[in-house]
Amino acid sequence: MADFERETGTVTVIFQEMGKTTKQLAKLSAGDSLEDFVGPLGTPADVRKLGTVILVGGGVGVAPIYPQAKAYVSAGNRVISIIGARNKDLLILEDEMEKASSEVYIATDDGSKGHHGFVTDIMKSILDSGEKVARVVIIGPPIMMKVGAGVAFPYNVEILVSLNSIMVDGTGMCGGCRVTVGGETKLPALTGLNLTQERSISSS
């Protein structure tokens, strides 16, 4: 869920065509409907005035980074956003992120736009520059979040990642979303999973 309009009661959902269901969704036209639409689920993002916040979005992970960028700015923060994708054609929400952030950096794996490399390269450069950063939020593929948390770990900055496990019913009742964190079983859909300062995950 990338955006919402209170006045019209609508939400903007961004997804990537990967399997049967997302390919079916992509075939829907204006006026079509879904049987059910449930949300929001989980733990709300902890957005408050902190100072400088780095938001890192990879691939479709840019979608949930976008509303957070707007919220952090509204809360009085300086927001540095870093967005990336495998190539320029897969980048999303560039214009929106430019408007929502104090600064925006772009990275592509193949160098077709912005920095030739990974979003974590840019994040490390910012942290190395001596910029006083209060929090780093990373949302994207699990390996990107793990690497990003590992890169940020030595800088003693608060790190948040968004673990998006596969969900069947979206409520945690079936247990399909269960993951193990620090030896404990968690059900993200049922309770939300806040990995704030779960610093052990970034070094393992």
Q: What is the pLDDT of residues 19-43, one digit of tens each?
A: 998 999 999 998 998 888 877 776 7
Residue 115 CB coordination number (10 Å): 16
Cα–Cα dist 162/26, whole Å: 24
β-pairing, 3-5 vs 158-161, is unpaired
Assess whether the previous peptide bond of 188 is cis (omega < 30° from 0): no
pLDDT for residue 183: 87
Average pLDDT, the chain: 88
* Secondary structure of 103-151 as H, E, C letters: EEEEEECCCCCCEECCHHHHHHHHHHCCCCCCEEEEECCHHHHHHHHHH
Average the pLDDT over 72-90 and give the result.
97
SS3 161: strand
For the stretch 109-134, pLDDT in tens is 999 999 999 999 999 999 999 999 99
| Residue 169, CA atoms < 13 Å, CB-side half-sphere | 9
Average the pLDDT over 40-62 and give the result.
90
> pTM for this structure?
0.85
pLDDT surpasses 60 at 168: yes
